[in-house]
Amino acid sequence: MTEAPEIFARIYERHGHRCPMSTLGGRLAMAALGLLADAEASGEDELRGYYFTRTCAVDGVAEVTGLTEADGGLEVCPDGRHALRLERGGVAVEVELTEKAMQMAGEYRRFCYEIEAGWDDLDEEERRVREIRRQAWLDTLLPRLWQAPDHELVRVVREDAGA
Protein backbone atom coordinates (compact mmCIF):
# COMPACT_ATOMS: atom_id res chain seq x y z
CA MET A 1 0.00 0.00 0.00
CA THR A 2 1.29 3.44 -0.96
CA GLU A 3 1.93 5.70 2.04
CA ALA A 4 -0.29 8.76 1.98
CA PRO A 5 0.89 12.29 2.76
CA GLU A 6 -0.02 13.22 6.34
CA ILE A 7 -3.18 15.21 5.57
CA PHE A 8 -4.59 12.40 3.46
CA ALA A 9 -3.62 9.78 6.05
CA ARG A 10 -5.66 11.78 8.57
CA ILE A 11 -8.58 11.98 6.14
CA TYR A 12 -8.54 8.20 5.65
CA GLU A 13 -8.32 7.62 9.39
CA ARG A 14 -11.37 9.83 9.94
CA HIS A 15 -13.22 8.25 7.03
CA GLY A 16 -12.36 4.63 7.85
CA HIS A 17 -10.86 3.69 4.49
CA ARG A 18 -9.00 5.12 1.51
CA CYS A 19 -11.20 6.37 -1.32
CA PRO A 20 -11.19 8.95 -4.11
CA MET A 21 -14.10 11.02 -2.83
CA SER A 22 -12.70 11.62 0.66
CA THR A 23 -9.44 12.59 -1.08
CA LEU A 24 -11.26 14.97 -3.41
CA GLY A 25 -13.15 16.52 -0.49
CA GLY A 26 -9.78 17.29 1.05
CA ARG A 27 -8.55 18.81 -2.21
CA LEU A 28 -11.67 21.00 -2.46
CA ALA A 29 -11.19 22.21 1.11
CA MET A 30 -7.49 22.99 0.57
CA ALA A 31 -8.31 24.98 -2.57
CA ALA A 32 -11.15 26.89 -0.90
CA LEU A 33 -9.04 27.74 2.16
CA GLY A 34 -6.29 28.97 -0.15
CA LEU A 35 -8.75 31.24 -1.97
CA LEU A 36 -9.99 32.64 1.34
CA ALA A 37 -6.42 33.37 2.39
CA ASP A 38 -5.76 35.06 -0.97
CA ALA A 39 -8.87 37.19 -0.42
CA GLU A 40 -7.44 38.17 2.95
CA ALA A 41 -10.46 36.87 4.84
CA SER A 42 -9.72 37.47 8.50
CA GLY A 43 -8.56 34.30 10.22
CA GLU A 44 -10.11 35.63 13.41
CA ASP A 45 -13.64 35.45 12.00
CA GLU A 46 -15.62 32.22 12.26
CA LEU A 47 -15.28 29.84 9.33
CA ARG A 48 -18.49 28.25 8.01
CA GLY A 49 -18.79 25.57 5.36
CA TYR A 50 -21.48 24.10 3.12
CA TYR A 51 -21.08 20.93 1.08
CA PHE A 52 -23.80 20.36 -1.46
CA THR A 53 -24.25 16.58 -1.36
CA ARG A 54 -23.71 13.85 1.21
CA THR A 55 -20.73 11.77 0.04
CA CYS A 56 -17.40 10.54 1.35
CA ALA A 57 -16.03 13.99 0.42
CA VAL A 58 -17.59 15.44 3.58
CA ASP A 59 -14.96 13.66 5.71
CA GLY A 60 -12.16 15.17 3.63
CA VAL A 61 -13.69 18.64 4.00
CA ALA A 62 -14.11 18.18 7.76
CA GLU A 63 -10.53 17.01 8.31
CA VAL A 64 -8.95 19.83 6.31
CA THR A 65 -11.15 22.66 7.59
CA GLY A 66 -11.73 21.47 11.14
CA LEU A 67 -15.46 22.07 10.63
CA THR A 68 -17.99 19.40 11.55
CA GLU A 69 -21.70 18.91 11.29
CA ALA A 70 -21.77 18.12 15.01
CA ASP A 71 -20.48 21.57 15.96
CA GLY A 72 -22.64 23.31 13.36
CA GLY A 73 -19.70 24.67 11.40
CA LEU A 74 -20.31 22.40 8.40
CA GLU A 75 -23.71 21.97 6.83
CA VAL A 76 -24.49 19.35 4.19
CA CYS A 77 -27.15 20.58 1.78
CA PRO A 78 -29.04 18.08 -0.44
CA ASP A 79 -28.33 19.93 -3.68
CA GLY A 80 -26.62 17.04 -5.49
CA ARG A 81 -23.50 19.04 -6.42
CA HIS A 82 -19.93 18.12 -5.52
CA ALA A 83 -19.26 21.68 -4.42
CA LEU A 84 -17.97 23.37 -1.27
CA ARG A 85 -18.71 26.89 -0.10
CA LEU A 86 -16.60 28.41 2.66
CA GLU A 87 -17.38 31.74 4.31
CA ARG A 88 -15.26 33.83 6.66
CA GLY A 89 -15.42 37.48 7.60
CA GLY A 90 -17.80 38.57 4.86
CA VAL A 91 -15.88 36.71 2.16
CA ALA A 92 -17.20 33.57 0.47
CA VAL A 93 -15.66 31.17 -2.02
CA GLU A 94 -17.28 28.25 -3.77
CA VAL A 95 -15.39 25.49 -5.55
CA GLU A 96 -16.56 22.32 -7.25
CA LEU A 97 -15.02 19.18 -8.67
CA THR A 98 -14.11 19.26 -12.33
CA GLU A 99 -15.42 16.80 -14.88
CA LYS A 100 -11.99 15.14 -14.87
CA ALA A 101 -12.10 14.64 -11.08
CA MET A 102 -15.60 13.17 -11.31
CA GLN A 103 -14.50 10.90 -14.15
CA MET A 104 -11.55 9.58 -12.13
CA ALA A 105 -13.76 8.89 -9.11
CA GLY A 106 -16.44 7.35 -11.33
CA GLU A 107 -13.99 4.94 -12.94
CA TYR A 108 -13.01 3.73 -9.49
CA ARG A 109 -16.67 3.34 -8.47
CA ARG A 110 -17.37 1.23 -11.60
CA PHE A 111 -14.31 -0.90 -10.82
CA CYS A 112 -15.65 -1.43 -7.28
CA TYR A 113 -18.98 -2.65 -8.65
CA GLU A 114 -17.03 -5.28 -10.57
CA ILE A 115 -14.91 -6.22 -7.55
CA GLU A 116 -17.92 -6.41 -5.23
CA ALA A 117 -20.17 -8.40 -7.59
CA GLY A 118 -21.29 -11.60 -5.88
CA TRP A 119 -19.12 -10.81 -2.84
CA ASP A 120 -21.28 -12.76 -0.38
CA ASP A 121 -20.91 -15.94 -2.44
CA LEU A 122 -17.12 -15.74 -2.80
CA ASP A 123 -14.70 -17.90 -0.88
CA GLU A 124 -12.05 -16.22 1.26
CA GLU A 125 -9.29 -16.64 -1.33
CA GLU A 126 -11.30 -14.93 -4.09
CA ARG A 127 -12.22 -12.10 -1.71
CA ARG A 128 -8.54 -11.69 -0.82
CA VAL A 129 -7.55 -11.58 -4.51
CA ARG A 130 -10.23 -8.99 -5.28
CA GLU A 131 -9.23 -6.85 -2.31
CA ILE A 132 -5.61 -6.91 -3.51
CA ARG A 133 -6.84 -5.68 -6.91
CA ARG A 134 -8.82 -2.88 -5.22
CA GLN A 135 -5.82 -1.75 -3.17
CA ALA A 136 -3.59 -1.83 -6.27
CA TRP A 137 -6.09 0.39 -8.10
CA LEU A 138 -6.09 2.83 -5.18
CA ASP A 139 -2.28 2.78 -5.05
CA THR A 140 -2.33 4.03 -8.65
CA LEU A 141 -5.24 6.47 -8.42
CA LEU A 142 -4.76 8.19 -5.06
CA PRO A 143 -1.26 9.57 -5.72
CA ARG A 144 -2.63 11.13 -8.91
CA LEU A 145 -5.33 12.84 -6.84
CA TRP A 146 -2.83 13.97 -4.18
CA GLN A 147 -0.45 15.47 -6.74
CA ALA A 148 -2.65 16.82 -9.55
CA PRO A 149 -2.64 20.59 -9.98
CA ASP A 150 -5.73 22.25 -8.50
CA HIS A 151 -7.03 23.32 -11.92
CA GLU A 152 -7.35 19.67 -12.98
CA LEU A 153 -9.55 18.74 -10.02
CA VAL A 154 -11.13 21.96 -8.74
CA ARG A 155 -13.06 24.70 -10.50
CA VAL A 156 -13.74 28.04 -8.84
CA VAL A 157 -17.46 28.69 -9.07
CA ARG A 158 -17.47 32.06 -7.33
CA GLU A 159 -15.62 34.35 -5.00
CA ASP A 160 -17.37 37.26 -3.40
CA ALA A 161 -17.05 39.75 -0.61
CA GLY A 162 -20.04 40.34 1.59
CA ALA A 163 -21.09 36.70 1.90
Q: How does pLDDT run along the chain (163 residues), one tens digit per residue?
A: 778 899 999 999 999 999 999 999 999 999 999 999 887 766 678 999 999 999 999 999 999 999 999 999 999 999 999 999 999 988 999 999 999 999 999 999 999 999 999 999 999 999 999 999 999 999 999 999 999 999 999 999 987 765 5
Quick check: helix, strand or coil at residue 158?
strand
Domain 6-161 part of CATH 3.30.1330.130: yes
Give the Cα separation of 88 and 73 in Å (integer).
11
**Residue 82: count of CB within 10 angstroms of its CB:** 21
Q: Structure pTM? A: 0.91
DSSP state of 53: S
| 133: Cβ contacts below 8 Å, ≥ 6 apart | 115
Give the Cα separation of 13 and 3 in Å (integer).
13
